[in-house]
Amino acid sequence: MSALTGRPPGHLASALLELRDPPPTWEAFRHTPQIGCLRCDARHPGGPVFRVLPHHRYVCTRHRYWIGPPDINDRGPHLEIAPEVVAAQRWHLRLVRRHGWPAVYDAVLTAFMICANLWDKNVDEADPDDGAVALNQMVWNVRSYVFISPHTERQTFSASRLFAAIYPEAVSIAALIASPTWRRLAAGDDKQLSRFTTEIGWRLGDPYYQPRSEHDPIAHWIEQDCWRPPSPPPTTFAAAPGHRRPGHLATTVTRSSQTRHDKAALWFSRKRRPGRVILFHRTVHPVVIREWSIPMETFSGAIRQSQCTTYRFTDNET
């Protein structure tokens, strides 16, 4: 193969994962090929390059382009004006080296869910003293207005760009969620739990954070998930149906997913609810519905379920 294409075997193995010996850890890779960084792809003469990337690859740190979770295969924005997003990818990779990809996969998705929930809190309904909501919403809104400018939503909307807007804070929260030490504190006695809630509160800009039994995915995670193993990806590239079919890699957007995307873009242009887009995106499904979640009839029901607790924090309700 190498002789035929004239490329070194190392290059081929990184492009064609199936040639690797020993075979790759498929679970660590996304199941859908996606478009990567514009500059990296520019070195390839044959047009857009589809790659199967690991779950922890969100940014090309070399060229500072957002790659993001697989979406409609839109090119991600350049991150010149948001260097903190590039820095977050480096932190994310350090977390993977320290805790292993399964713990960090779960932690980053859980953190995306937590931030998206906070972003979705309507400013009018939010407690005026709730500084964390206001401050975070402001930062995330600014980034999202840069990545998806007002009045261009129909052309520039993509869920992936909204993930970019909350990525730095999500990685900061994920550092706690992936850490066995912090997980033990979250599952510990009142004093240990209070150390955890203070730390996560600081990281969310809310030093007085207290778990609530409603609309609080952190409280749900403390009660239901922190003492259980991380949730794995639902499928792998190797297990995805038809991945060996010739032409599968030449991914084109199907008509139905294009229609779904256009509807979402229209809805977003009328009513910007970025947190909601992220909560409903398939990327975070594995942590919204976990193996031990109470089955719900609708996905909205599952989201509500992932934000409440059964008994532990009811005393704190006001």
Nearest residue to Zn ion, by Cβ distance, number only: 37
Output the six-digit token pair for 245. Answer: 């079919």
What is the full DSSP assignment across 227-246?
A: TSPPPPPS--TTTSTTTTST
Q: Can you tell me which of 13, 19, 40, 134 binds Zn ion, judged by CB under 5 A?
A: 40
Is residue 75 a contact point for Zn ion (CB under 5 A)?
no
| CA 21 vs CA 10, 17, 190, 239: distances in Å | 11, 9, 49, 18
Is residue 63 a contact point for Zn ion (CB under 5 A)?
yes
Residue 63 or 290: the one with the smaller Cβ distance to Zn ion is 63
| Cβ 36 to Zn ion shortest distance, Å | 7
Which class for 3: exposed (0-12), middle (13-18), buried (19 or more C-beta within 10 A)? exposed
Residue 62 or 184: the one with the smaller Cβ distance to Zn ion is 62
Residue 30 or 64: the one with the smaller Cβ distance to Zn ion is 64
| Cβ 211 to Zn ion shortest distance, Å | 41
Is residue 78 a contact point for Zn ion (CB under 5 A)?
no
**Alpha-carbon span 112 to 271, nearest angstrom:** 21
Is residue 39 a contact point for Zn ion (CB under 5 A)?
yes
| Cβ 25 to Zn ion shortest distance, Å | 23
Is residue 82 a contact point for Zn ion (CB under 5 A)?
no
Is residue 35 a contact point for Zn ion (CB under 5 A)?
no
| Cβ 80 to Zn ion shortest distance, Å | 14
| Cβ 41 to Zn ion shortest distance, Å | 8
**Alpha-carbon span 50 to 36, nearest angstrom:** 7
Which class for 101: exposed (0-12), middle (13-18), buried (19 or more C-beta within 10 A)? buried
* Choices 52-60, 104-112, 119-127, 287-295; region in contact with Zn ion by CB under 5 A: 52-60
Is residue 53 a contact point for Zn ion (CB under 5 A)?
no
The phi, psi pair for 66, rounded to 5°, reads -75, 130
Instruction: State the residue for tokens 């790759």.
Output: 24
**Alpha-carbon span 71 to 111, nearest angstrom:** 19
Residue 59 or 107: the one with the smaller Cβ distance to Zn ion is 59
**Alpha-carbon span 318 to 212, nearest angstrom:** 9
Is residue 37 a contact point for Zn ion (CB under 5 A)?
yes
| Cβ 29 to Zn ion shortest distance, Å | 18
Chain contacts with Zn ion (rule: CB under 5 A): 37, 39-40, 60, 62-63
